[in-house]
Amino acid sequence: DIVMTQSPDSLAVSLGERVTINCKSSQSLLYTSNNKNNLTWYQQKAGQPPKLLIYWASVRESGVPDRFWGSGSGTDFSLTISSLQAEDLAVYFCQQYDSIPHTFGQGTKLELK
Amino acid sequence: QVQLQASGPGLVKPSGTLSLTCAVSGDSISNNHWWSWLRQSPGKGLEWIGQIYHVGSPHYNPSLKSRVIISIDKSKNHFSLNLMSVTAADTAVYFCARASLHGLSLWGQGTLVTVSS
């Protein structure tokens, strides 16, 4: 199985702050035939299912605010929130869908400082 | 508006079978999507159980493959999860979701299943 490791596990943040969450995969997620990385980012708020934010490592899902940015390739990826809003306080997960089983990172919880 | 709704018993006895159904509304289960099951527990985080397309064989997580069956019923526009020989470790919130080539774009609300006698 591909192991997905996120850092940090939790982060105390201030509103308006720039936030970066990292995700490292144990194998490359780059699909060479289309030069895309099979890596997604999800946001989960308490009592709700995860919500898709970013796919192919850097493409925002329709309706996702442009303060959310995904970057990286191969085995190292990041999710950046350019200016944290109150509604962004949640848990964030990365997931690889390059090979079965599709595996998730352990999650990064954003809390207010 | 496309919606997914999982349903099934919230309590299953140890060694029994966990059975859930995900009703799909606003979309045809025969469209170009993979229909997926996942679960989430405090101890194990988010775990992908498997997925099924309207044709062909389902894909399963190897860690569960010996105990799981995912099936699809086109006439009822729903898909199902059966997990056999359950233990307390299978206690979790179970989600059904719709997957496309770029991820799990739509999720049901999730249903808590507790394994206990």
Residue-wise pLDDT tens digits, A31-47: 989 999 999 999 999 99
What is the Cα A27 distance to its own chain's centre?
17
Residue-wise pLDDT tens digits, A58-93: 999 999 999 999 999 999 999 999 999 999 999 999
Task: Please check whether residue A37 touches B, CB under 8 A.
Answer: no
Residue-wise pLDDT tens digits, B30-39: 998 999 999 9
Task: Please check whether residue B53 touches A, CB under 8 A.
Answer: no
Q: What angle do CA B12, A103, B58 make, to 5 degrees?
A: 65
How high does pLDDT run on average in chain A? 97
> Is residue B101 over pLDDT 90?
no
3-state helix, strand, coil in chain B (%, to 5): 5, 55, 45
Which is it for the CA torsion B89, A29, B103, A55, positive or negative? positive
Q: In the structure, what pLDDT confidence band is assigned to residue B91 with cuts at 50, 70 and 90?
A: very high
> Is residue B44 over pLDDT 80?
no
What is the Cα B32 distance to its own chain's centre?
18
Determine if the peptide bond prior to A101 is cis (ω within 30°): yes
Residues in chain B closer than 8 A to A93 (CB atoms)? 45-46
End-to-end CA distance of chain B: 39
Tokens of A25: 């995969």
What amino acid is encoded at B17 in this protein? T
The pLDDT score that the predictor gives to residue B19 is 98
The pLDDT score that the predictor gives to residue B115 is 98
Give percent above pLDDT 70 in chain A: 100
The pLDDT score that the predictor gives to residue A66 is 97
CA of B96 vs chain A CAs: smallest distance (Å): 10
d(CA B73, CA B94): 19
The pLDDT score that the predictor gives to residue A36 is 95
* B48/A55 touch (CB, cutoff 8 Å), yes or no: no
- Give the pairing type, strands A68-73 and A59-60: unpaired
Task: Please check whether residue A61 touches B, CB under 8 A.
Answer: yes
Q: In the structure, what pLDDT confidence band is assigned to residue B100 with cuts at 50, 70 and 90?
A: confident
Q: CB of A49 within 8 A of CB of B95?
A: yes
Say which of A48, A52, A56 has its CB closest to residue B104. A52
Residues 13-52 of B with CB under 8 A from A: 45-48
* Size of the A and B interface in Cβ pairs below 8 Å: 52
How high does pLDDT run on average in chain B? 95
* A100/B59 touch (CB, cutoff 8 Å), yes or no: yes
The pLDDT score that the predictor gives to residue B43 is 75
Q: In the structure, what pLDDT confidence band is assigned to residue B55 with cuts at 50, 70 and 90?
A: confident
